[in-house]
Structure 1
Amino acid sequence: MKKLITATLLLACSATAVVAQGNEGYVFTPVKELKITPIQNQSRTGTCWCFSSLAFIESELIRMGKGEHNLSEMFIVNHSYRDKADRYVRLHGFLNFAQGGGFYDVLYGIKHYGLVPESVMPGLEYGEDIHVHGEMESAAAAYVEAIIKNKNGKLSTAWKKGFDGIIDAYLGKLPETFSYNNKQYTPMSFAKELGINADDYVSLTSYTHHPFYSSFALEIPDNWRWAESYNLPINEFMEVFDYSINNGYTIAWATDVSEVGFTRNGIGVMPDVETIETSGSDQDRWVGLSATEKNAELRKLVEKPIQELTITQEMRQKAYDNYQTTDDHGMQIYGIAKDQNGKKFYMVKNSWGTNSKYEGKWYVSEPFVAYKTMNIIVHKNAIPAAIRTKLGL
């Protein structure tokens, strides 16, 4: 997922029936709400992929009866930087080297490196109280670039140690052992006791440039591990969302949040702009407006119920092919709600802190999810049996 730096979010609201802008705004009522851990803040970093994946894993631990845990994102981020540097050098620099990543980076990390609690490795070793990764990224990127451009004709035996030193200086050294709840662990023994089997989780997507019911590596810059996703038709892809939530499984959700319908006030909708612009006397408000002015007007309109697009498979593919759908942000879907008109919305846990209208949670419509989802991670058992059979799972 691309870098998303947290904006300053305004206002706050209540929980059960959530109201926006008096009688004209949305009123949300949860229909099915699964347990999540407290909202975190990725702050000025591009590590949404890790925050959302571990939020998903933390909910899995609750579902499995393992209790509530706050897992360390920076333990996984540290390991991922090391692995990414190795691959970047092996590919002579032909790889996206940035803060972004994917859900599979966390699953790979759990399987190969384990887990540690947040209290063991908060990852703030550089004089900040909250995550700020710009300097670290620049230093790490400059280092690996220098390594591949060196004039010695071969790599030294010291370059990895030097790179690890940069990451450790910012995020802290990787713990070999630690104490948690009066018990000694290694990262691998801790992950084993938690009982998370990374192989139980799969990535799903829905695009037509690869055959349905096969798997392929999503062609996005942050998929640097070349992780594969199973490909489903859009109707079956959307079926997984409801089946998963209704059967007690949350979802790790990668999406494009650059759309005008994804607001900083906790709403994600896919407005039918063409119909809105040409509907009767409403045309008057659009005539002569610049693109920036139109966007400003639309941002006002999407704060209350609005007509949305009907999403097709072809629309999804066209937006992906034309760079109109990009891999911007990772979050966690944990429930289903209805607005005052009975329209379905998915309940989303974000990682931009709690200083927002819905205290760090978003409500995204079914059309938005159908159109702008890049991929999801779910437990195998969160997929309907008939679809699992088609995928050979």
Structure 2
Amino acid sequence: MKTNLIIAALALCFAGTAAAQTTDTPAGEGEGYVFTDTKVVPITPVKNQHRSGTCWCFSTISFLEGEILRTGAEAPHLSEMWVVRNAYKDKARKYVRMHGHINWAQGGAACDVTEGIKAHGIVPFEVYPGLNYGTDKPDFHELAEVLKSYLDTVIEVADRTSKPLSTAWERGFDAILDEYFGVMPETFTYNGKEYTPQSFAASLPIDINDYVSVGSYTHHPFHTQFILEVPDNWMWGTVYNVTLDEMMAIVDNALANNYPIEWATDVSEKGFSRTKAIGIVPDEDIDGLDGSEAEKWGDLTDAEKEAALYKFDRPVKEKIITQEMRQTAFDNYETTDDHGMVIVGTAHDQAGNPFFKVLNSWDVLPPYAGYYYFSRPFVAYKTTSIIVNKNAIPKDIRNKLHLK
């Protein structure tokens, strides 16, 4: 990266920041990040999870639709709420069995989708929109509280009275789900053909068994599987554990061969800007500044330094991410599993720094029509897990994981 860009980013804060843009024309000083896409795999349009904590479902459904496109077939819009409704029922059974001592929230994991399709099949969106409560977009504010209150009452009464659970609680829970999501069809007609949810899933040109979760952690042995210890992993889904270099090699190989990547990450970072649609990991190290510039930086308050680092008004030097840094951040709750998106391509900024292009589910919003750009250090640092087609994993890594 150019030295004058580093110096400018670490100098005293300047008022005003221009909006970032996507163009092949380099930006001038202070114009923000300018991205040039270098590779983008086919993917279905940006969707809107609206007021629901269901990014895990929207992203994984988009990922699977992208996988269908990769085969050369036309991708139907698969029903997110079909998956969510089934996940709520499966989660409810485990929540009650565990006396309420697992996480009950709107969040989930990508494996909830793949495992849910294996268990319950899937249907097109038009067959099951799942919006049966007066809005045309998902809104779970009431629903989430109603479901939890119901289950907590079932558990509390059983614990307090020491009596068996009634035979009605599951039917009652189903009735609530029916009212909010709609009654689930046993059969349906799509494009002139009759299906069940299972037969429709089987008709798709992808094999749901091909998708595997991958992470990179040192508190479990590499090249083994373990249950990822994050609150939203209520299903206790497992990930294949690889080194950081191997994880990034999987991402690179997948994109190079036109595979999308389901991406679970942390967007609670100061280096993530929702409005500028960018994620970076600025480096506070002032090595390389000359004496006067280092002195200026040293005279700034902590608040001024932070403001300078996170203005997003031009490319900045970023941290070099290590395996140890990843683990420390995870161990200390600095990296949390709070959002799911789809990595769909590669790009670079005007200084030549590598970025990934990412599909989000927060509607078609500026500056990039619902897409976001995350630096390579951000992905290396803040990835909690990915899901990929096992055939997208380089052969040497696949052999280490004993994946056929």
Q: TM over 0.5, yes or no?
A: yes
Q: Matched residues in 2 for 1:128 and 1:274: separation?
A: 49
C-alpha distance after superposition, 1:61-92 (max 9, x if no partner): 00112212211100000000000000000111
Contact 2:22 2:36 in 1 (8 A): no
Contact 1:125 1:172 in 2 (8 A): yes
Structure 1 stretch 203-212 or stretch 302-311: which is displaced more? Answer: 302-311
Structure 2 unaligned segments of length 5 or more: list them: 1-17
Q: Matched residues in 2 for 1:252 and 1:98: separation?
A: 21
Q: Rg larger in 1 or in 2?
A: 2
Match of 1:272 among 256, 259, 283: 283
Contact 1:126 1:170 in 2 (8 A): yes
Q: Matched residues in 2 for 1:224 and 1:290: separation?
A: 39
Q: Matched residues in 1 for 2:126 and 2:21: separation?
A: 29
Q: Matched residues in 2 for 1:266 and 1:49: separation?
A: 19
Q: CA deviation at 1:13?
A: 8.1
Q: CA deviation at 1:20?
A: 7.4
Aligned-partner SS, 2:117: helix
Q: CA deviation at 1:299?
A: 3.1
Match of 2:241 among 231, 240, 261: 231
1:52 aligns with 2:59: yes
Q: Matched residues in 2 for 1:107 and 1:331: separation?
A: 15
Equivalent residue for 2:78? 71
Equivalent residue for 1:97? 104
Q: CA deviation at 1:331?
A: 0.2
Please give the residue correspondences for 1:204-353 in structure 2 after superposition, counting only pairs within 5 Å.
204-264=214-274, 265-275=276-286, 280-281=292-293, 284=296, 287=299, 289=301, 291=303, 295-300=306-311, 302-353=312-363
Give the 3 Å change call, closer, same or farther, for CA 125–283 of structure 1 in structure 2. Answer: farther
Q: CA RMSD in A?
A: 2.3
Match of 2:199 among 180, 189, 206: 189
Q: CA deviation at 1:368?
A: 0.4
Match of 1:142 among 138, 149, 164: 149
Contact 1:96 1:224 in 2 (8 A): yes
C-alpha distance after superposition, 1:151-204 (max 9, x if no partner): 261101110111111222112222211222222211111111113322111000
Contact 1:311 1:371 in 2 (8 A): yes
Q: CA deviation at 1:313?
A: 0.3
Equivalent residue for 1:33? 40
Q: Matched residues in 1 for 2:85 and 2:110: separation?
A: 15
Q: Matched residues in 2 for 1:105 and 1:145: separation?
A: 22
Equivalent residue for 2:163? 153
Contact 2:297 2:305 in 1 (8 A): no
Give the 3 Å change call, closer, same or farther, for CA 81–331 of structure 1 in structure 2. Answer: same
Aligned-partner SS, 1:273: coil
Q: CA deviation at 1:18?
A: 8.2
C-alpha distance after superposition, 1:260-295 (max 9, x if no partner): 11111111111113439x98537657856465x655
Equivalent residue for 2:5? none
Aligned pairs, how many? 381
Q: Match for 1:238: what amino acid?
A: M
Q: Percent identity?
A: 51
Q: Match for 1:30: what amino acid?
A: D
Structure 1 unaligned segments of length 5 or more: list them: 1-10
Q: Matched residues in 2 for 1:287 and 1:133: separation?
A: 48
Contact 1:320 1:326 in 2 (8 A): yes
Q: CA deviation at 1:127?
A: 1.2
Aligned-partner SS, 1:149: helix
Q: CA deviation at 1:129?
A: 2.2
Contact 2:342 2:359 in 1 (8 A): yes
Q: CA deviation at 1:208?
A: 0.2
Q: CA deviation at 1:124?
A: 1.3
Q: CA deviation at 1:317?
A: 0.3
1:114 aligns with 2:121: yes
Q: Match for 2:62: what amino acid?
A: A
Contact 1:220 1:327 in 2 (8 A): yes
C-alpha distance after superposition, 1:81-119 (max 9, x if no partner): 000000000111111011010010000111111111111
Q: CA deviation at 1:334?
A: 0.7
Aligned-partner SS, 2:77: coil
Q: CA deviation at 1:342?
A: 2.0
Contact 1:111 1:197 in 2 (8 A): no
Give the 3 Å change call, closer, same or farther, for CA 283–253 of structure 1 in structure 2. Answer: farther
Q: CA deviation at 1:146?
A: 0.6
Q: Match for 1:371: what amino acid?
A: Y
Contact 2:33 2:314 in 1 (8 A): yes
Q: Matched residues in 1 for 2:301 and 2:337: separation?
A: 30
Q: CA deviation at 1:19?
A: 7.6
Q: CA deviation at 1:25?
A: 2.1
Q: Match for 1:69: what amino acid?
A: P
Q: Matched residues in 2 for 1:123 and 1:70: separation?
A: 13
- TM value normalised by structure 2: 0.89
Contact 2:132 2:182 in 1 (8 A): yes
